[in-house]
Amino acid sequence: MKNAALRNVMLAAVVTLSACGQEAPAPTEEPTMAATSEAAMGGMAMSAEAKMAQGTGVVTAIDTSAGTITLDHEAMPEIEWPAMTMTFSVKPAVLDGVKVGDKVAFDASIQGSAAEVTAISSQ
Ligand SMILES: [Cu+2]
């Protein structure tokens, strides 16, 4: 008799626990789905617009007549770029004393395959 009562209490506890366990995923699922669709919309909006990113690297070439600078840049996690050497377009006025061999910090605007250095300074 005593054991049966105890079993009922334990059973009730298990039912309560499993009820909680079943309820738990539902509220967490909704915000996750909302966040995912927001992120997708944000990603779509961003792909049409220029993305700004900051990076550091070393200047390997400058061509002021072409308006380009080649940077051996470190990884840029904001835009999921690995470290690489690449050429950016740049307005000569932005360079302001930056020369080949300098270690630099820079801001870049990336739109599709076009990348422009918008600010740069030697470190
Ligand atoms: Cu790059």
What's the CA-to-centroid distance between 114 and ligand 1, angstroms? 11
Alpha helices of the chain — where are they, by DSSP H? Answer: 2-23, 25-48, 92-95
Q: What is the 3-state secondary structure (H, E, C) of 24-45?
A: CHHHHHHHHHHHHHHHHHHHHH
pTM of the model: 0.61
Each of the 123 residues of the chain gets a pLDDT tens digit; together they read 566 665 656 555 544 444 444 444 444 444 444 444 444 444 444 456 889 999 999 999 999 999 999 999 999 999 999 999 999 999 999 998 999 999 999 999 999 889 999 999 999
In whole angstroms, give the CA distance from residue 78 to residue 89.
19
117 phi/psi in degrees, rounded to 5: -80, 120
**CATH classification (class only), 51-122:** mainly beta
What's the CA-to-centroid distance between 8 and ligand 1, angstroms? 66
Domain boundaries, the chain: 2-48, 51-122
